[in-house]
Amino acid sequence: MVCHYIKKRKPLAYPAQQLQEAVEAVRSKQVTLYRVAEHYGIPKATSFKRIHGLRGMKSSFMGRPPAIPHDVEVKMAEQIKIIEK
């Protein structure tokens, strides 16, 4: 087991909203891909992939998606509480 885990990646230097604004600016031909990279600090490759649809947006949470939807989990918890009584 590793005693001192060091993350391999740094956190993103730009928020998802900023990336979306940059993609929309390039698609509407207000600015070029290279200007977006300079202005927003987003790598050219990342912008290119998002503009041309080669990569989708990343999810806002890390890890696996839940096996049971949240509303089903809440209903199950309520039923278990009723059964315990």
Map out the domains of the chain as residue ranges. 13-58
Q: How confident is the model over 64-84, as pLDDT tens digits? A: 888 999 999 999 999 999 999
Instruction: Give the tens place of pLDDT for each residue, 34-58.
Output: 998 898 888 899 888 888 888 776 6
Q: Which CATH architecture has domain 13-58?
A: Orthogonal Bundle (1.10)
- Reported pTM: 0.53
CA distances from 42 to 39, 51, 52, 57 (A): 8, 13, 15, 14
Question: DSSP per residue over 16-71, as a string?
Answer: HHHHHHHHHHHHTTSS-HHHHHHHH---HHHHHHHHTTSS-PPPSS-SPPPSS-HH
